[in-house]
Structure 1
Amino acid sequence: MSRPGLDTNPLELTPDWFNQLFEEIGIDAEVKGLTAKSIGTGQIGENVRFVFDYARKGDDAPATLVGKFPSGNEASLMTAKLLGHYEREVNFYRTFTKVAGRITPTAFYTDYDPETNRFALIMEDMAPAEQGDQLAGCSAAEAERALDAAAILHSAYWMDETLDTYPWIQGSKLAPPTALNPEAIAGLWVAFKDRYGEHLTPDVVEVGDAYADALPRMPEVYPGPFALTHNDFRLDNMLFGKPGSPKPLAVVDWQTPGKGAPANDVAYFIGAGLTREERPKHELALLRYYHDRLQEEGVSGYSFDELYKDYCYFSFYGMSVAFGAAMLVKQTERGDQMFLTMLRRHAAQARDNNALELLP
């Protein structure tokens, strides 16, 4: 097969390419025509929806598929290469089968070229599922659906030492040193303040300054329980299915999977996913819901008090994602709004839970 996203413009993929793909994966169909249209506003990758016109259509032939390909923006391409985003996403779908397909779209084709950093991912189209909106936030009921997925993800590889055998996941024993050390992350905060200072209130700056100052002293190795983590577990990376859907929620953008603290994903989601007004009303109930779901999935030996302490400690992580990503990917109007909103919400989350007291 030709390699879409590697040697082909994905908007120019042909019926013949998909016919060959379908033959190789066992789908009974003959494509006679298709349309390809870019969708979404991805910061790191570009998404394309393919709509098929069939000469012959078997029962399992999809009406549409979605492809994900490298970003067309040079800054985003450089960031993806620096941080290994494309390689990780392809390897995630190939490796972690206890999660991929269960809480994600089904992947039909994956490809990655380490020489060129080009990649392609052809997957199930989740339409009419609706993408979460990071700016608007979500309801407590929607948050429970996300935390269901988090419990499935984390329990699947809870304290699983095989995670250390994969050099391409963050935090494993074989992973190379991160390209962004604590000092570099702190430097991104300084650059963020220079660019967005007029939009930052003193209380947000105070939390950011305290976190950036503490970063070089924060321990490199987290001492608590570990699992497979998403590390960008937020609303914009979630597709909420309609009532009765086979998948009530599909999590996408697996470009940053790692071996890490389960509470990190949870703190990141709750802190940025609920509005400043709604989070305090539901925060503890949602944490208890996640803890109960972990136990239902077979996890034991992790008390709620331990979870809550870890949750508080990792409330700062969302701040570093917000100001770090803002300075490393292409700048857009919505991106600016999203990163500033996330930063403010996480600063409030840290304050409300007295997390500043946990900084070294």
Structure 2
Amino acid sequence: MSRPGLDTNPLELTPDWFNQLFEEIGIDAEVSGLTAKSIGTGQIGENVRFVFDYARKGDGAPATLVGKFPSDNEASLMTAKMLGHYEREVNFYRTFPKVAGRITPAALYTDYDAETNRFALIMEDMAPSEQGDQLAGCSVAEAERAMDAAAILHAAYWNDESLDTYPWLQGTSVAPPPAMSPEQVAMLWTGFKDRYDASLTPDVIEVGDAYADALPRMQQEPGDGPFALTHNDYRLDNMLFGKPGAPKPLAVVDWQTVGKGAPASDVAYFIGAGLTREDRPKHEQALLRYYHARLQDEGVTDYGFDALFDDYRYTCFYGMSVAFGAAMLVKQTERGDQMFLTMLRRHAAQARDNNALELLP
């Protein structure tokens, strides 16, 4: 087979390529024509929806599929290469079947070329599911769906030492050192403050300064809490919410940052950025208890709620580094600016409301 995204413009893929793919994976169909259209607003990768016309359509032949391919933006390409995003996402779908497919779109085809850093994913189309909106925030019911999926993700490899056998997985004992040191991440905060100075209030700057100052020491003092497979960009824009009765109530996408880490970090990141500044304090504790109960339903019985809450407070700063780091490393867009500033403000408020500054080393 030719390798879409590697040696072909994905918008120019032909019916023959998909016919060969369907034959290899056991789908009885003959594609006679297709249309390809870019979708979404991805800042690290580009997404394409393929709509098929069939000369023969057997059971299981999809009406549409979605492909994900490298970004067409040079800054995003360089960031993806430096941070290993494309290789990591492909390997996630290939390696973790207890998660991939259960809370994600099913992947029909994966490919990655280390020399060129080109990749491709061909996945089931989750339409008419609706993408979450980071700026608008979500309802409590939607947040509970996210907590359901988080519990499934984390429980699947809870304290599982096999995670340390994957050098491409962030945070494992065999992974190379992070591409950016804590000191370099802290410097991104300095650049972010300079760029967005007019949009930052003193209370947000105070939290950001304290966190950036503590980052090197936080790296030196890893916590002794549980570890699991973590998404590390667990937010609304990376979630597709199904309509009532859909086979998957929620599909989580964009696994470029998957790693071994503290499960509470995904939870703190989602709750802090996914709920509005007004809604989070009203529902924070209830959502944490909901997630804790779902973890227990999935078989995790050695993690008390008080320990979860302590870990939640300590890891709530992570969302700030994602916001200011991504803002400085990927292509700048108007919506991106709004999103990263909104996330940063919400996480700063989350840290202040939960007295998390007192936990910084």
Asked whether the 8 Å contact 1:103–1:250 carries over to 2, the reply is: yes
- Post-superposition CA distance 1:135-172 (Å, at most 9, x none): 00001110000000000000000000000000001000
Asked whether the 8 Å contact 1:169–1:259 carries over to 2, the reply is: yes
Asked whether the 8 Å contact 1:313–1:358 carries over to 2, the reply is: yes
Asked whether the 8 Å contact 1:226–1:262 carries over to 2, the reply is: yes
Runs of 4+, deviation exceeding 6 Å: none
The answer to whether residue 355 in structure 2 is matched with residue 347 in structure 1 is no
Aligned to 1:293: 294
Aligned to 2:6: 6
Q: What TM-score comes out, normalization by structure 2 length? A: 0.99
The equivalences for 1:228-307 within 5 A come to 228-307=229-308
* CA distance in 2 between partners of 1:99 and 1:212 (Å): 33
Asked whether the 8 Å contact 2:182–2:219 carries over to 1, the reply is: no
Asked whether the 8 Å contact 2:130–2:240 carries over to 1, the reply is: yes
Aligned to 2:53: 53
Shift of 1:323: 0.1
Shift of 1:300: 1.4
The answer to whether residue 3 in structure 2 is matched with residue 20 in structure 1 is no
SS of alignment partner, residue 171 of structure 1: coil
Asked whether the 8 Å contact 1:222–1:260 carries over to 2, the reply is: no
Query: What one-letter code is carried by the residue in structure 2 that aligns with 1:162?
Result: S
CA RMSD of aligned residues (A): 0.5
SS of alignment partner, residue 232 of structure 1: coil
Shift of 1:355: 0.1
* CA distance in 2 between partners of 1:222 and 1:266 (Å): 16
Asked whether the 8 Å contact 1:143–1:270 carries over to 2, the reply is: yes
How many pairs are equivalent? 360
* CA distance in 1 between partners of 2:73 and 2:314 (Å): 34
The answer to whether residue 135 in structure 2 is matched with residue 127 in structure 1 is no
* CA distance in 2 between partners of 1:124 and 1:337 (Å): 30
Shift of 1:217: 1.2
Shift of 1:56: 0.2
Aligned to 1:111: 111
Unaligned runs of 5+ in 1: none
* CA distance in 2 between partners of 1:60 and 1:213 (Å): 54
Aligned to 1:325: 326
* CA distance in 2 between partners of 1:226 and 1:215 (Å): 20
Aligned to 2:40: 40
* CA distance in 2 between partners of 1:144 and 1:137 (Å): 13
Q: What TM-score comes out, normalization by structure 1 length? A: 1.00
Unaligned runs of 5+ in 2: none
- Post-superposition CA distance 1:25-62 (Å, at most 9, x none): 00000000000000011000000000000000011000
Aligned to 2:205: 205
Query: What one-letter code is carried by the residue in structure 1 that aligns with 2:346?
Result: R
* CA distance in 2 between partners of 1:219 and 1:97 (Å): 30
* CA distance in 2 between partners of 1:222 and 1:354 (Å): 18
